[in-house]
Amino acid sequence: MNFEFSPTLPSGTRLVACVADKDALPEGIEATLGEGARSARFKGRPGELFEGFVERDGAVVRVALAGAGEADSEDRTANLEKAGAALAARYLTSGETTLTIDFSAANLPADAIAAVLLGLRLRAWRHDAYRTRLKDEQKRSLETVVAVGGPDGAEAAWADAAALADGVEFTRELVTEPPNKVYPLSFVEKCREAFDGTGAELTVLDEDEMARLGMGALLGVGQGSAQPSRLLAIRWNGGGDEAPTVFVGKGVTFDTGGISLKPGAGMEDMKWDMGGAGAVVGGMLAIARRKAKANVVGVVGLVENMPDGNAIRPGDILTSMSGQTIEVINTDAEGRLVLCDALHWAQKEYSPARIVDFATLTGAMVISLGHEHAGVFANDDSLAEDLLAAGRASGDKLWRMPLDPAYDKLIDSQIADMKNVGPRPAGSITAAQFLQRFIDKGVAWAHCDVAGMVWADKPGATWDKGATGYGARLIDRFVRNTLEG
């Protein structure tokens, strides 16, 4: 989709939209349009939409009003995004090819206009690559959005927001692609293409290199698959000499559960078990595309978990890169095995100031928080508060969960240093306690369990059904808030 800026309405405009605050119709609209809006009980609530037809200069023009809520709301940015998203949802397949948004009378600052356009672009994202029999009315027709009458700085604000949209859309693409298209090797290649020309440095470890480093936990998960495992690191140096902040993602490109095989019903959803890795690389792409003034590294462990004759078994003992041994109780508790080696390697390789991991780690997190918040566990209160604040600002919401030594006994093993899974109670907490055992003393660390957030069964504020892109915005906002000031 193309986004253009113009000082005036282009000639021949057929479809015009205006942003309307709650209980305040835009100035200068035709009386008939205003009367129609009032008759339809249009109030300008966030995401509410009204449209009508008016005559202008002898031509019939379609005019839409998109609600943005209270002008002084603390959720103003999110509400402006909802206004843009409502326009995308209505006109993406409408047959119209161009949508003009008239900001002339809105008196919105540059960042507010960027928010409207961001919401529109994110809601317009679809993945139709494999849909060959769409009817004409199902095909996307909207190609161009023209922003009219914005203040100075609107284009620059949009360029910054567009970089963020690039990252979110990359996350969604990776999460949406089927597992025969996205597997460890192709994930790496897609990242090479996406980051080409950005200035980011990519490092890839193959299985031989990981074996030499002793990554027995990560390699153990992937040893039942015909697809070789990989570790990918993406480094962005934009902030001088300070130690980097490191984000680590779980990249299980498909999860059958291994020998502890999942039920067949719904197993197709496990293509998004790499949602944590998708969030990390999407956040890194946004950071690199907008040339963030910060030092940031993204590390993702990429494996496929399959029930081959060579797969690990319940009862096996794996030795992690840290030297700690793990008794495998359930091969479907594989994400923590991938993360523990990736976390250890990232600390040794980069000596991070802070380290945060993202993973679709436990179904128990969905039971705890549903699909409204991801859970965050942290050994550092300041880091936890910074992540919570970034979640509120970005819309990728988090809720803090407990870490406590009392839970450690639930994953103690009689024949190894630990088990990879505890009993059913406190399943998300014991998973976090497991990961904490691989964090070096004095390192500020947080774990984000995003199991309920990377995929949606119904449309949301700025996404359709399917991949939400969760995590990319959170990472970008965290970097803006804590590293760029």
The tens digit of pLDDT for each residue in 13-45 reads 999 999 999 999 998 899 999 999 999 999 999
Q: Is 336 a catalytic residue?
A: yes
For every residue of 305-352, DSSP letters joined together read: E---TTS--TT-EEE-TTS-EEE-S-TT--HHHHHHHHHHHHHHHH--
The predicted model gives 295-322 an average pLDDT of 98
Residue found by looking up tokens 């991949």 in the block: 467
Nearest to 47, CA basis, from 132, 133, 123, 100? 123
The predicted model gives 196-205 an average pLDDT of 98
pTM flag (> 0.95): yes
Tell me: is residue 334 an annotated ligand-binding position.
yes
Query: Across all residues in the chain, what is the average pLDDT?
Result: 97
pLDDT recorded at residue 367: 97
Tell me: is residue 143 an annotated ligand-binding position.
no
Tell me: is residue 273 an annotated ligand-binding position.
yes
How do beta strands 230-237 and 295-305 pair? antiparallel
User: Does the pLDDT of residue 483 top 90, yes or no?
Assistant: yes
Q: Is 290 a catalytic residue?
A: no
Q: Which of 336, 354, 473, 480 is catalytic?
A: 336
Phi and psi at residue 403, to the nearest 5°: -115, 135
| C-alpha 427, offset from chain centre | 24
Which residues does 286 contact at the CB level (< 8 Å), separation at least 6? Answer: 163, 164, 166, 167, 168, 472, 473, 475, 476
User: Does the pLDDT of residue 485 top 90, yes or no?
Assistant: no
Which residues does 197 contact at the CB level (< 8 Å), separation at least 6? Answer: none
User: Does the pLDDT of residue 9 top 90, yes or no?
Assistant: yes
Q: What is the token pair recorded at 132?
A: 């060959």
Which residues does 116 contact at the CB level (< 8 Å), separation at least 6? Answer: 19, 66, 68, 80, 81, 83, 84, 101, 108
Tell me: is residue 419 an annotated ligand-binding position.
no
Q: Which of 22, 45, 190, 262 is catalytic?
A: 262
The tens digit of pLDDT for each residue in 155-192 reads 999 999 999 999 999 999 999 999 999 999 999 999 99
The tens digit of pLDDT for each residue in 71-93 reads 999 999 999 999 999 999 999 99
